Structure 1
Amino acid sequence: MRKLLLTLSLFSSFTFAQIQKVEPMFWWKGMKNPELQILVYGKNISTYNLELSDNVKIKDIQKTENPNYVFVTINTNEVNKSSFKINIKNKNKVVDSYTYELKNRQANSANRNSFTSKDIVYLIMPDRFANGDESNDSKKELIDKANRQIPDGRHGGDLRGIINNIDYIQNLGATAVWLTPVNEDNQKQHSYHGYAQTDLYKIDARYGTNEDYRELSRQLNKRGMMLIQDYVTNHWGSLHWLIQDLPAKDWIHQFADGDNGFKRSNYRTTAQFDSNVAEIDKKEALDGWFDSTMPDMNQSNPLVVNYLTQNAIWWIEYAELGGMRVDTYPYNDKVGMAKWVKAITDEYPNFNVVGEAWMHSPAHIAYWQKDSKIAEIDNYNSYLPSVMDFPLFGAIPKAITEDESWDKGMIRIYDNFTNDFLYPNVNNMFVFMENHDTERFNEITNGNINDYKLGLTLISTVRGIPQVYYGSEIGMRGDKSKGDAAIRQDFPGGWKSDKQNAFTNDGRTTEQKQFHDFTAKIFNWRKNKEVIHSGKTKHFIPQNNVYVYFRYNDNESVMVVMNANTEKQTLKLDRFSEALNGFTSGKDIISNKNISVDTNNTISIDGKTSMIIELKK
């Protein structure tokens, strides 16, 4: 009889609700917005009573159509203890509980530094950079195992590998590190890129731990550098635990005429502001899935937006981040995203967020920047501080490699900057030659170092925030037509078995040294040049495929000359007299030569070269 009672007791306990997940797992006191919504997940958990210990008041309880979820809202300002219990009760009996911790924020956390035009951003795909911990290359609980022989497979790069090579990044002159997503991506294939995340609160174990991620950020911060998180709001991985057991059908966008709810986006995100758009096209652009394994999140659902908002703030606070880059920004519900980014910047007024809006018109890009006059037509404000200058990205390789004509050659660069009046904040824009989704710049130019020098000179001296993609600084190439893996190759020296180590000067080839040394020279010069960070621009229409512009403020002026021709060109300096007024000489920081800029004289520049002249009176 005693055995029977014991069996019945055990059976009864297992029928009660068990808390399987709580998100966020913990939070902080003293946030500007004291309201916190806690997701509590467990089998049929909403059919039980939920209470909080220590007289903590529940402001709101929200249940969804899925009984496995409860969303509990509290006011953290009303909680006087460092922790309390979330109790699940069957009638009057507590059947499960979770101790919820409210931590103390670090001093001045709300005013943390974030990336600005003073910074240079180094973009890394962690799986392909350096393997600092071989023990985590494959994990039993994660599907995709490490195999460097598979181009689209996991190669073993990790956070420890990046930590081990911070000296290299710092010496190059970069001041901020942007990692492609490192949260858990437990999809069956191609999980190395990280954009199909399956747990938003957990670093992928093949990269390391949450603690490793925070350590990387802190190590960077100690050097006056910072970590930028790549945040994905538009889609999650199909194997995300929340996707596998949806809180509600409208947590994601689903199509009745699709394959299990899936319909691919038409990718025409100009539908966001096209006054002539057909509604079916707009719906498929914004609600369609980015890929069959990437369900499209519904940011018009307040629970979804709040989940994403709290998750972003959690990472900023926990990992002491210096900024965020948001993937596929125009694919999201723009109203929901405005709420998301405003909540973040309300909590952290100095925090910078840059959105990827892969569009080709400056007007289309400008629409997405905070306080855009263009967006006012729609009575809309994105509140997004920074945008990526994709029109400039598209123009650079063409301008450098093609012959001059009315609308070709360096005039493309000039024309791009004639649109600067559209942007609310031209200094807060990413300027770049390539990234992890594009053809390698050095592939387009067939590895021509002179073309690289021209491109790097440009992004390092114009308005905005220069971003360089790992490996470009040693001449890495990659043909995107052969697949994304071709533009995401392993950095030589990141693995113990590598025959070459390009992280060291002695390990670089002569050609790699040329790329690297030029990059380091320009970047380290730029660090302390306020005139480049926030100065004004005066540029002159290119002649004979030579582009000349000045960056200036009240204290100094820099003259940049770019010759995209293969032949030497001679320029009459009197044409630039309005910018050279008061200056007679200068020093070219590239060649270290003194230069006369007397307007009665001329200046000569070799083919496929640039000059960055610090002017002197």
Structure 2
Amino acid sequence: MMLSIKNIPWIELLKENHRHPSPRDWSDQVIYFLLIDRFSDGKEDGYIDVAGQAIPGNTPPFAPGDAGNAVTTPADTLKWESAGARWLGGNLKGITSKIGYLKRLGITTLWISPVLRQRPGVDDYHGYGIQNFLEVDPHFGTDQDFKDLVAAAHNAGLYVILDVILNHSADVFQYNTADPTGKLYTPAWSGTTYPVLGWRDPTGAPTLPFPAPVNPVDVDSAVWPEELQAADAFTRMGNIAHWDDRPETTEGDFDGLKNVHQGTGPLSDYTPSGALRTLTEAYQYWIAYADLDGFRVDTVKHMDHGATRFFTSEIHEFAQAIGKDSFFLVGEITGSREEAISTRDRTGLDAALGLRDVQQYMVDAVKGWGNPANYFELFRNSVEVDKPSHTWFRNHVVTAFDDHDLVRLDKEWKARFAADQEGRALELAILAMNATTLGIPCIYYGSEQRFDGKFPSDFNPAPDPKDKADRYIREAMFGAGFGSFRSRDRHFFNENSTTYIELAKILSVRKSDLAIRRGRQYLRPISEDGVAFWYPNRIGEGRMTSIVAWSRIMSNREVVCAINTDLAATRTAWVTIDARLHAIGAKFKCAYSTDPTQVGSPVAVEGRNGLAISVSIPPAGFVIMTP
């Protein structure tokens, strides 16, 4: 076990000369994000391995009749929901066993949650409370298990992105602040440094002197590597209360997780702290050791821009020095499109993870509760953010509609897209829109099985309102005590489910068509009678039930994609296409449809609204039309 940055065996690591090369263009990728603890323990019965063989196991597959099997009584309900706040047993070997499942779906890049050691005795199953930055958490497996997972992914043609944290560690020390009764508490940020009582020992008690170095025998105490035990490694300013106020948001603790001191100075002349240099070197070690292909950088909003720029520069240079020319750095930047793009440009990150705007407008467009133009204009109006062409967005924004935090939703109520009737019907439609519009698509685990995670408001007794509902959007794919659809002890690696099968077909078409992966993008006017054309638009208080169509154009090739937001009826419409690229009488054919009888059928270009083609889409369906 390494306890100091000085102990990293660089000479041995850098002898490796068979590094997995970077992708030519990250916009060609389809990312799949999973929480290690919630994905797989490798014990599922009948899952198919990478070689196509069915593997026996202990956990049977989920069947429709299993829905609700964990909540039949109030006591069972409490047991199920409390399981969701604890470690469930997913591990790295379990992920390795499901490489075949992911590859056959069409996934090309795996993004895994933080893998490093969490503070002992705490249920930080999500991985965002790191106590040792130089060791894999034993709940997940060993360092070698991590290396083996990346190697297995590479052998199958997949890349691996690791979620990394720079701005905070676990709750590794206790403030010396007490209320009138003498009870210790974490103070709120006020712009001042608070006294520290001590480093936490393995029981969580602050029994070890701060900032004295901790004896290596106490490896489960304080924070490691030992360079992070310096007094100035942490800001020590208490909890953030106002999440959008600087400098509070960059100096304060993250709900008790201790804020790392990043450095000082303006962006143009930033001086990184020793702690930031230590963390940067630790993550360089993991690149070299495990042969990683990218990082998703957590909570960039809570970092100085200078700190992020230092990290991106150091990581990019290191990765290039060992043969990874396009090591991918995507930052979690909550807030508006303009804030995300500005931060990306200032810091050197390769891409921004589109959260609030991208998610909300995509969901509203597909469910019919918002105007589709709101989503498409996030990309189309790039001139407003000083970008001359909207193709700039194709490999600089990672798009998704669900994730493990859903920060765009109320903290007391969170739910996956498929939590309601509309979402269940339209899950494939939104997966298709995400896969065939601009940006690098990211699929949140379980979406391909229509997971419906939601705060269970109808439970009796009601769950703890302080929970923030995060657990309910983090169901276990392998069942355990907290499976989706209020189930337990059933797994969901079903390659025969409709959504899995149809999404695999869509991703196959995407893989084969450069225009879908990299082309320009246009929301298209439609018409029911071929005479009056309009952009689909929500009118009044009800849902918009309409075809929503868009084009992807690469050079002189145009591909038309369209969804039908109507849950009950097939809809037919004329869709405007580019009159400069086609001629009357030319043919488009159906490359994909949720109605398989349409695939391969030709349609002729007609002289309507310039030029247009007719598309017919089943209820909640999707089509791809190619020239």
**Residues 1:293 and 2:260 aligned together:** no
| Cα distance in 1, alignment partners of residues 228 and 523 from structure 2 | 54
Shift of 1:494: 7.2
**Residues 1:334 and 2:305 aligned together:** yes
Return 5+ residue gaps in structure 2 as ranges: 45-78, 173-221, 265-271, 320-324, 407-413, 457-462, 464-468, 526-534, 538-545, 608-612
Instruction: Output aligned runs, 1:262-277, within 5 Å.
Output: 262-268=238-244
Instruction: Select 1:107's aligned residue among 13, 17, 25.
Output: 17
- Structure 1 equivalent of residue 624 of structure 2: 612
Q: Which is bigger in relative contact order (C-alpha 8 A, separation at least 6)?
A: 2
- Structure 2 equivalent of residue 543 of structure 1: 536
- Structure 1 equivalent of residue 565 of structure 2: 564
- Structure 2 equivalent of residue 487 of structure 1: 473
SS at match of 2:278: helix
SS at match of 2:374: helix
Structure 1 contact 560–611 (Cα < 8 Å) conserved: yes
- More off after superposition, 121-130 vs 584-593: 584-593
Instruction: Select 2:358's aligned residue among 349, 367, 392.
Output: 392
- More off after superposition, 235-244 vs 204-213: 235-244
| Cα distance in 1, alignment partners of residues 436 and 604 from structure 2 | 19
- Structure 1 equivalent of residue 246 of structure 2: 282
Q: Any idea what the Cα deviations from partners look like across 1:590-611, whole Å, max 9, x if unmatched?
A: 2324140412464333443221
| Cα distance in 1, alignment partners of residues 25 and 235 from structure 2 | 33
- More off after superposition, 228-237 vs 543-552: 543-552
TM-score for both structures, normalised by structure 1: 0.71
SS at match of 1:343: helix
- Structure 2 equivalent of residue 520 of structure 1: 504
- What residue identity is the alignment partner of 1:458? M
Shift of 1:213: 0.1
**Residues 1:321 and 2:292 aligned together:** yes
SS at match of 2:451: coil
| Cα distance in 2, alignment partners of residues 524 and 246 from structure 1 | 46
SS at match of 1:282: coil
- What residue identity is the alignment partner of 1:290? F
Structure 1 contact 114–322 (Cα < 8 Å) conserved: no
- Compared CA separation, residues 303 and 519, structure 1 to 2 (3 A): same
Structure 2 contact 5–225 (Cα < 8 Å) conserved: no
- Compared CA separation, residues 357 and 185, structure 1 to 2 (3 A): same
Structure 2 contact 371–536 (Cα < 8 Å) conserved: no
Shift of 1:24: 4.9
Shift of 1:200: 0.7
- Structure 1 equivalent of residue 62 of structure 2: none
Shift of 1:242: 4.5
| Cα distance in 2, alignment partners of residues 302 and 244 from structure 1 | 15
Shift of 1:533: 2.0
| Cα distance in 1, alignment partners of residues 479 and 338 from structure 2 | 42
- Compared CA separation, residues 447 and 520, structure 1 to 2 (3 A): farther
| Cα distance in 1, alignment partners of residues 24 and 273 from structure 2 | 28
Shift of 1:115: 7.3
Structure 1 contact 147–153 (Cα < 8 Å) conserved: no
- What residue identity is the alignment partner of 1:489? E
SS at match of 1:427: helix
Return 5+ residue gaps in structure 1 as ranges: 1-18, 30-101, 135-145, 256-261, 269-280, 373-380
- Structure 2 equivalent of residue 138 of structure 1: none
Shift of 1:105: 3.1
| Cα distance in 2, alignment partners of residues 325 and 299 from structure 1 | 21
Structure 1 contact 112–351 (Cα < 8 Å) conserved: yes
Instruction: Output aligned runs, 1:345-360, within 5 Å.
Output: 345-348=316-319, 349-359=325-335
Q: Which has the higher strand share?
A: 1
- Structure 2 equivalent of residue 503 of structure 1: 493
Q: Any idea what the Cα deviations from partners look like across 1:276-308, whole Å, max 9, x if unmatched?
A: xxxxx4121211111113334434442122112
| Cα distance in 1, alignment partners of residues 617 and 418 from structure 2 | 26
| Cα distance in 2, alignment partners of residues 337 and 21 from structure 1 | 25
Structure 2 contact 234–258 (Cα < 8 Å) conserved: no
- Structure 2 equivalent of residue 253 of structure 1: 235
SS at match of 2:524: strand
- Compared CA separation, residues 124 and 299, structure 1 to 2 (3 A): farther
- More off after superposition, 20-29 vs 184-193: 20-29
- What residue identity is the alignment partner of 2:509? W
RMSD: 3.1
Q: Any idea what the Cα deviations from partners look like across 1:423-451, whole Å, max 9, x if unmatched?
A: 86312221111111124433444364441
**Residues 1:418 and 2:418 aligned together:** no
SS at match of 1:550: strand
- Compared CA separation, residues 457 and 21, structure 1 to 2 (3 A): closer
Q: Any idea what the Cα deviations from partners look like across 1:293-338, whole Å, max 9, x if unmatched?
A: 3334434442122112211211111100011101111211110110
- Structure 2 equivalent of residue 164 of structure 1: 97
Q: Any idea what the Cα deviations from partners look like across 1:63-105, whole Å, max 9, x if unmatched?
A: xxxxxxxxxxxxxxxxxxxxxxxxxxxxxxxxxxxxxxx4443
Shift of 1:499: 5.2
- Compared CA separation, residues 350 and 156, structure 1 to 2 (3 A): same
Shift of 1:560: 0.9
| Cα distance in 1, alignment partners of residues 605 and 257 from structure 2 | 62
Structure 2 contact 367–423 (Cα < 8 Å) conserved: no
- Structure 1 equivalent of residue 601 of structure 2: 594
Structure 2 contact 166–260 (Cα < 8 Å) conserved: no
Structure 1 contact 298–333 (Cα < 8 Å) conserved: yes
Instruction: Select 1:208's aligned residue among 141, 149, 158.
Output: 141
| Cα distance in 2, alignment partners of residues 245 and 26 from structure 1 | 13
- Compared CA separation, residues 106 and 529, structure 1 to 2 (3 A): farther
Structure 1 contact 410–546 (Cα < 8 Å) conserved: no
Instruction: Select 1:128's aligned residue among 38, 47, 53.
Output: 38
Shift of 1:163: 0.9
- Compared CA separation, residues 543 and 529, structure 1 to 2 (3 A): same
Q: Any idea what the Cα deviations from partners look like across 1:253-296, whole Å, max 9, x if unmatched?
A: 123xxxxxx2325221xxxxxxxxxxxx4121211111113334
Instruction: Output aligned runs, 1:362-511, within 5 Å.
Output: 362-369=337-344, 372=345, 381-390=346-355, 391-403=357-369, 408-421=370-383, 422=385, 425-428=392-395, 429-438=397-406, 439-446=414-421, 448-480=423-455, 483-492=469-478, 500-505=490-495
| Cα distance in 1, alignment partners of residues 440 and 3 from structure 2 | 40
Q: Any idea what the Cα deviations from partners look like across 1:457-515, whole Å, max 9, x if unmatched?
A: 1111112211111111111111147621111111146799975443244xx6xxxx122
Structure 1 contact 450–609 (Cα < 8 Å) conserved: no
| Cα distance in 1, alignment partners of residues 440 and 164 from structure 2 | 19
Structure 1 contact 561–612 (Cα < 8 Å) conserved: yes
**Residues 1:584 and 2:587 aligned together:** yes
Instruction: Output aligned runs, 1:3-22, within 5 Å.
Output: 21-22=3-4
SS at match of 2:26: coil
| Cα distance in 1, alignment partners of residues 101 and 417 from structure 2 | 21
| Cα distance in 2, alignment partners of residues 266 and 526 from structure 1 | 42
Structure 2 contact 437–516 (Cα < 8 Å) conserved: yes
- More off after superposition, 488-497 vs 319-328: 488-497
- Compared CA separation, residues 232 and 286, structure 1 to 2 (3 A): same
SS at match of 1:234: coil
- Compared CA separation, residues 423 and 474, structure 1 to 2 (3 A): farther
Structure 2 contact 353–398 (Cα < 8 Å) conserved: yes
SS at match of 1:198: strand
TM-score for both structures, normalised by structure 2: 0.69
SS at match of 2:29: coil
SS at match of 2:343: coil
Structure 2 contact 402–416 (Cα < 8 Å) conserved: yes
Shift of 1:574: 5.6
| Cα distance in 1, alignment partners of residues 164 and 360 from structure 2 | 24
- What residue identity is the alignment partner of 2:118? D
| Cα distance in 1, alignment partners of residues 480 and 513 from structure 2 | 32
SS at match of 2:421: coil
